[in-house]
Chains A and B, each alone.
Chain A
Amino acid sequence: MEAHPCCNALFTHTQFQDGALRHTITVQDVEDIAFGGAVLGTGGGGDPYVGKLMAQRAIELHGSPQMISVEDVPDDEYIMCAAGIGAPTVLIEKILRGDEAETVFRALEAQLGRKAYAVMAAEAGGVNGTIPIAVAATLKLPLVDADLIGRAFPEIQLAIPTLHGIAATPMVVADEKGNHAVLSTISNHWTELIARSMTAAMGGQILSALYTMTGRQAKYATVPRTQSLCLRIGQTLREARHGKGNTLHALLAVTGGTHLFRGKILDLDRKTEKGHVRGVVTIQGLDEFRGETVAIDFQNENLIARSGERVLAAVPDLITILDQDTSYPITTEGLKYGLRVNVIGIPCYEQWRTPEGLALGGPQHFGYDTPYQPLAVKGAQ
Chain B
Amino acid sequence: MAHRLGIDVGGTHTDAVILDEENRLIAKTKARTTADVSSGIEEALTHILAMPHVDAAKVRYAMLGTTHCTNAIAERKSLAPVSAIRLGAPATLSIPPLYSWPQDLQKKVLRHSFILDGGHEFDGREITTIKAEQIDQLVRDLTGNVEAIAITSVFSPVNAEHEERLRERLVSEFGSEIPLTVSHEIGSIGLLERENATVLNSALIRTALLAFNGFRDAMRRQQLDAQLFLSQNDGTLMSVEYAQRYPILTIASGPSNSLRGGAFLSGLKNAIVVDVGGTTTDVGVLVAGFPRESALAVDIGGVRTSFRMPDLISIGLGGGSIVRQSEEGMTIGPDSLGYRLTSEAIVFGGSTLTTTDIAVSAGRAQIGDSNLLPAEVHTISHDADALIQQMVERCIDGMKLSADPVPVVLVGGGSVLVSDQLAGASEVYRPEHFDVANAIGVAIAPISAQIDRVFSYERFSREAALEEAKGQAIEKAWQAGALKDSIEIVELEELAMAYMPGQATRIKVKAAGVLLTS
A and B: bona fide binding partners: yes
B121 within 8 A of A: yes
Question: Using Cβ atoms and an 8 Å threshold, which residues of chain B touch A94?
Answer: 88, 91-92, 119, 121-122, 127, 154-155, 191
CA distance A86 to B497 in the complex (A): 10
**Selected interface stretch from B3-11, B205-213, B396-404:** B396-404
Closest to A276 in B: B498
CA distance A284 to B154 in the complex (A): 39
Is the beta-carbon distance between A88 and B498 smaller than 8 angstroms? yes
On whether A177 and B90 interact (CB within 8 A), knowing A275-B499, A338-B292, the answer reads: yes
B311 within 8 A of A: yes
Is the beta-carbon distance between B190 and A93 smaller than 8 angstroms? yes
CA distance A33 to B365 in the complex (A): 52
CA distance A328 to B296 in the complex (A): 10
List which B459-518 residues lie within 8 A (CB) of chain A: 495-501, 503, 505-506
CA distance A270 to B498 in the complex (A): 11
Contact of B91 among A96, A271, A333, A339 (CB under 8 A): A96
A92 within 8 A of B: yes
List which A140-157 residues lie within 8 A (CB) of chain B: 154
A23 within 8 A of B: no
Is the beta-carbon distance between B295 and A57 smaller than 8 angstroms? no
Is the beta-carbon distance between B155 and A97 smaller than 8 angstroms? no
Question: Using Cβ atoms and an 8 Å threshold, which residues of chain A touch B155?
Answer: 93-94
CA distance A341 to B364 in the complex (A): 35
Closest to B193 in A: A92
Is the beta-carbon distance between A92 and B100 smaller than 8 angstroms? no
B273 within 8 A of A: no
A336 within 8 A of B: yes
Is the beta-carbon distance between B93 and A97 smaller than 8 angstroms? yes
Contact of A92 among B88, B125, B191 (CB under 8 A): B191
**Selected interface stretch from A196-204, A310-318, A353-361, A368-376:** A196-204
Contact of B128 among A87, A93, A177, A197 (CB under 8 A): A177
Is the beta-carbon distance between B95 and A89 smaller than 8 angstroms? no
Is the beta-carbon distance between A272 and B402 smaller than 8 angstroms? no
On whether A200 and B501 interact (CB within 8 A), knowing A94-B191, A177-B128, A284-B402, the answer reads: yes
CA distance A140 to B113 in the complex (A): 27
Specify the main secondary structure of chain B where it touches its partner. loop
Is the beta-carbon distance between B154 and A53 smaller than 8 angstroms? no
Question: Using Cβ atoms and an 8 Å threshold, which residues of chain A touch B94?
Answer: 54, 57-58, 95-98, 134
Question: Using Cβ atoms and an 8 Å threshold, which residues of chain A touch B89?
Answer: 97
List which B75-91 residues lie within 8 A (CB) of chain A: 88-91
List which A53-101 residues lie within 8 A (CB) of chain B: 53-54, 57-58, 86-90, 92-99
Closest to A91 in B: B191
* Distance (whole angstroms) from the CB of B514 to the closest CB of chain A: 26
CA distance A364 to B185 in the complex (A): 45
Question: Using Cβ atoms and an 8 Å threshold, which residues of chain B touch A275?
Answer: 498-501
Question: Using Cβ atoms and an 8 Å threshold, which residues of chain A touch B499?
Answer: 86-87, 196, 199-200, 204, 275-276
Closest to A290 in B: B403
B285 within 8 A of A: yes
CA distance A99 to B285 in the complex (A): 47
Question: Using Cβ atoms and an 8 Å threshold, which residues of chain A touch B192?
Answer: 49-50, 53, 92, 95
List which A303-346 residues lie within 8 A (CB) of chain B: 323, 326, 328, 330, 333-340
* Distance (whole angstroms) from the CB of B452 to the closest CB of chain A: 12
Question: Using Cβ atoms and an 8 Å threshold, which residues of chain A touch B263?
Answer: none
CA distance A215 to B495 in the complex (A): 42
Question: Using Cβ atoms and an 8 Å threshold, which residues of chain A touch B341?
Answer: none
Contact of A93 among B90, B95, B154 (CB under 8 A): B154
Number of chain A residues close to chain B: CB under 8 A: 54
Closest to B495 in A: A333
Contact of B99 among A53, A96, A204 (CB under 8 A): A53
CA distance A266 to B292 in the complex (A): 13
Number of chain B residues close to chain A: CB under 8 A: 49
B189 within 8 A of A: yes
Question: Using Cβ atoms and an 8 Å threshold, which residues of chain A touch B402?
Answer: 266, 284
CA distance A197 to B502 in the complex (A): 12
Is the beta-carbon distance between B401 and A264 smaller than 8 angstroms? yes
CA distance A277 to B505 in the complex (A): 11
A300 within 8 A of B: yes
On whether A95 and B503 interact (CB within 8 A), knowing A286-B398, A328-B296, the answer reads: no
Q: Which of B123, B498, B506 has the most CB of A within 10 A?
A: B498
Question: Using Cβ atoms and an 8 Å threshold, which residues of chain A touch B296?
Answer: 323, 326, 328, 334
List which B390-419 residues lie within 8 A (CB) of chain A: 397-403
A19 within 8 A of B: no
Mask of B115-152 contacts with A, CB within 8 angstroms, 1/0: 00001011101011000000000000000000000000
On whether A204 and B121 interact (CB within 8 A), knowing A50-B192, A95-B191, A272-B496, the answer reads: yes
List which B300-317 residues lie within 8 A (CB) of chain A: 304, 311
A243 within 8 A of B: no
Closest to B285 in A: A338
Question: Using Cβ atoms and an 8 Å threshold, which residues of chain A touch B304?
Answer: 49
Mask of A175-205 contacts with B, CB within 8 angstroms, 1/0: 0111000000000000000001101100110
Contact of B496 among A58, A271, A323, A330 (CB under 8 A): A271
Question: Using Cβ atoms and an 8 Å threshold, which residues of chain B touch A328?
Answer: 296
* Distance (whole angstroms) from the CB of B95 to the closest CB of chain A: 5
Question: Using Cβ atoms and an 8 Å threshold, which residues of chain A touch B95?
Answer: 50, 53-54, 57, 95
Is the beta-carbon distance between A336 and B295 smaller than 8 angstroms? yes
On whether A203 and B189 interact (CB within 8 A), knowing A97-B94, A177-B127, the answer reads: no
CA distance A333 to B90 in the complex (A): 27
CA distance A43 to B501 in the complex (A): 22
Question: Using Cβ atoms and an 8 Å threshold, which residues of chain A touch B498?
Answer: 87-89, 154, 272, 275-277, 300
Is the beta-carbon distance between A272 and B100 smaller than 8 angstroms? no
List which A189-227 residues lie within 8 A (CB) of chain B: 196-197, 199-200, 203-204
CA distance A358 to B189 in the complex (A): 37
CA distance A286 to B399 in the complex (A): 10
CA distance A49 to B100 in the complex (A): 10
On whether A266 and B127 interact (CB within 8 A), knowing A93-B122, A203-B121, the answer reads: no
Question: Using Cβ atoms and an 8 Å threshold, which residues of chain B touch A336?
Answer: 293, 295
On whether A200 and B191 interact (CB within 8 A), knowing A93-B122, A272-B505, the answer reads: no
* Distance (whole angstroms) from the CB of B333 to the closest CB of chain A: 15
Contact of B122 among A50, A87, A286, A300 (CB under 8 A): A87
Question: Using Cβ atoms and an 8 Å threshold, which residues of chain A touch B496?
Answer: 270-272, 277
Is the beta-carbon distance between A89 and B191 smaller than 8 angstroms? no
Contact of B495 among A92, A154, A270, A339 (CB under 8 A): A270
CA distance A88 to B398 in the complex (A): 31
Question: Using Cβ atoms and an 8 Å threshold, which residues of chain B touch A204?
Answer: 121-123, 499-500
* Distance (whole angstroms) from the CB of B74 to the closest CB of chain A: 21
Closest to B496 in A: A272
CA distance A92 to B95 in the complex (A): 12
Is the beta-carbon distance between A87 and B295 smaller than 8 angstroms? no
* Distance (whole angstroms) from the CB of A197 to the closest CB of chain B: 8
Q: For the A-B complex with A89-B497, A97-B94, A338-B292 known, give 19 more contacts whose Cβ atoms are closer than 8 Å.
A: A57-B94, A57-B95, A88-B498, A89-B495, A92-B191, A95-B91, A95-B192, A96-B91, A96-B94, A98-B93, A270-B495, A272-B503, A275-B500, A276-B498, A284-B403, A323-B295, A323-B296, A326-B296, A339-B311
Nearest first, the 4 closest Cβ-Cβ pairs linking A and B are: A98-B94, A272-B496, A336-B295, A176-B91
Which A positions have Cβ atoms within 8 angstroms of B?
49-50, 53-54, 57-58, 86-90, 92-99, 134, 154, 176-178, 196-197, 199-200, 203-204, 264, 266, 270-272, 275-277, 284, 286, 291, 300, 323, 326, 328, 330, 333-340
- 23 of the cross-chain contacts (CB-CB < 8 Å) are A54-B94, A57-B94, A87-B497, A87-B498, A87-B500, A88-B498, A89-B498, A90-B500, A93-B191, A94-B127, A95-B92, A97-B93, A98-B94, A154-B498, A176-B91, A176-B93, A200-B499, A203-B122, A284-B402, A326-B296, A336-B295, A338-B311, A340-B398
